[in-house]
Structure 1
Amino acid sequence: MKDELITTGHIIGQTEDTLVSNMDQDKVMMSIQTGKYYNLGAIGGRIWDIIETPTTVGRLVEVLTLEFDVNQTVCEEQVIIFLNKLLKEQLIVVKEEASVNL
């Protein structure tokens, strides 16, 4: 999955090896595996909260468009870019929609 792009049909979930904390309105985390720190910001933090329970990218976009004043197409594009960055940093797990176990 590392070289593939994420699509709306993929199921996204958090990896287990991250430490996460809230700082003001931002969410910051550290990868135990790599020792790197990340600041997800407020919206990235909201995405992180939503994918605590594995969900499809399409459903994630639906939730975000209800919570934020954003066009669905723009939201989908930006979410996929963000998720691909998280995947590159090994912060999320991605499965095909038909898969049940993450």
Structure 2
Amino acid sequence: MIQQELIAADCIVVQKPGAIVSDMNGEKVMLSVENGKYYNLGKQGGRIWELIASPIAIPDLVSALTAEYDIDRETCERDVLKFLASLQREKMIEVTRR
């Protein structure tokens, strides 16, 4: 059994290929070709999805988001890690350690 890498602040994340993404009224919606499920990422989740199109370290992802949104770093990191964990459970991202 393959064990998934736990997501932590010292990880690098990137989208896995195989998702069809569309913008609907400013929110990202996605179809996973692999598991046949639809997802509504919302505006902020959609922005995270855009930022992880290329491999990005979580601290850099959090910095980009705190520069764009009115949110403190600690709250942002906690929310980002939670969101990425849900994407990981759905096999939508790849996670590696730095």
State TM-score, norm by structure 2.
0.94
Q: Tell me how far apart the structure 1 counterparts of residues 40 and 22 of structure 2 sit (CA, whole Å).
A: 10
| 1:17 CA drift (Å) | 1.0
Per-residue CA distance 1:42-84 (angstroms, 9 max, x = gap): 0000000000111011110000000000010000000000000
SS of the equivalent of 2:29 reads strand
| 1:5 CA drift (Å) | 2.7
AA of the residue aligned to 1:65: T
AA of the residue aligned to 1:42: K
1:13 corresponds to which residue? 14
Q: Tell me how far apart the structure 2 counterparts of residues 31 and 49 of structure 1 sit (CA, whole Å).
A: 16
Where do 5+ consecutive residues of structure 2 fail to align?
none
Q: Tell me how far apart the structure 1 counterparts of residues 30 and 39 of structure 2 sit (CA, whole Å).
A: 5
Task: State percent identity of aligned pairs.
Answer: 43
2:44 corresponds to which residue? 43
SS of the equivalent of 1:33 reads coil
Q: Tell me how far apart the structure 2 counterparts of residues 62 and 86 of structure 1 sit (CA, whole Å).
A: 20
SS of the equivalent of 1:49 reads helix
Count of matched residue pairs: 96
- The 4+ residue runs of structure 1 with deviation greater than 2 A are none
Counting only pairs closer than 5 Å after superposition, residues 71-82 of structure 1 correspond to structure 2 as 71-82=72-83
AA of the residue aligned to 2:30: M
State TM-score, norm by structure 1.
0.91
Counting only pairs closer than 5 Å after superposition, residues 47-86 of structure 1 correspond to structure 2 as 47-86=48-87
SS of the equivalent of 1:53 reads coil
SS of the equivalent of 2:39 reads strand
| 1:8 CA drift (Å) | 1.3
